[in-house]
């Protein structure tokens, strides 16, 4: 990510963070309405799930100048998600709904440039979490 993208994400996140708890519930409802097959992966309180999701987003946003500092946490989170049954193609559905909630909440502040910058953030998170999934797939394929 370049300096401009980081600036756009951090500035827009300050606006978005004020509604993050309420938005995270709407976010998950959006995910489940368009991807009902994902509902069984999210057990427990959706509000709690949303808070946890927003903590990961916040951690990433606050670490954009030093992503290496959060890579171990993202990889560990990815390992846990494998155990929950999350597969690489699920990340696209989550990304789609996250972009939707940002667009809804940021309104006129959600420009194409902001969307692209947020897409980069989400992709950084997902790629680092999926790294574990890819390693897991390679290990199970080579042991067959």
Q: What share of the chain is helix, strand, coil (3-state, %, to 5)?
A: 85, 0, 15
pLDDT tens readout for residues 20-73 = 777 888 888 999 999 999 999 988 888 888 888 889 999 999 999 999 999 999
pLDDT above 70 (res 117): yes
Rounded Cα gap, residues 33 and 24, in angstroms: 14
At which residue do the structure tokens 């994400």 appear? 9
CATH number of this structure's domain 3-142:
1.10.490.10
Model confidence, pTM: 0.83
Rounded Cα gap, residues 121 and 47, in angstroms: 23
Give the count of beta carbons closer than 10 Å to the beta carbon of residue 72.
10
Q: Given this model, what pLDDT does residue 136 score?
A: 41
Q: Given this model, what pLDDT does residue 140 score?
A: 41
Give the count of beta carbons closer than 10 Å to the beta carbon of residue 6.
16
Q: Given this model, what pLDDT does residue 48 score?
A: 86
More confidently predicted of 142 and 62: 62
């Amino acid at each position: 990510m370049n300096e401009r993208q980081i600036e756009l994400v951090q500035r827009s996140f300050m606006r978005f963070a004020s509604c993050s708890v309420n938005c995270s519930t709407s976010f998950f409802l959006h995910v489940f309405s368009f991807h009902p097959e994902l509902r069984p992966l999210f057990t427990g309180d959706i509000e709690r799930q949303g808070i946890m999701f927003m903590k990961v987003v916040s951690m990433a946003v606050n670490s954009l100048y030093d992503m290496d500092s959060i890579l171990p946490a993202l990889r560990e989170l990815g390992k846990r998600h494998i155990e929950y049954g999350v597969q690489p193609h699920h990340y696209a559905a989550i990304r789609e709904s996250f972009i939707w909630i940002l667009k809804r909440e940021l309104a006129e502040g959600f420009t194409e440039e902001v969307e692209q910058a947020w897409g980069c953030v989400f992709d950084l998170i997902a790629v680092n979490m999926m790294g574990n999934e890819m390693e897991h797939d390679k290990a199970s394929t080579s042991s067959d």
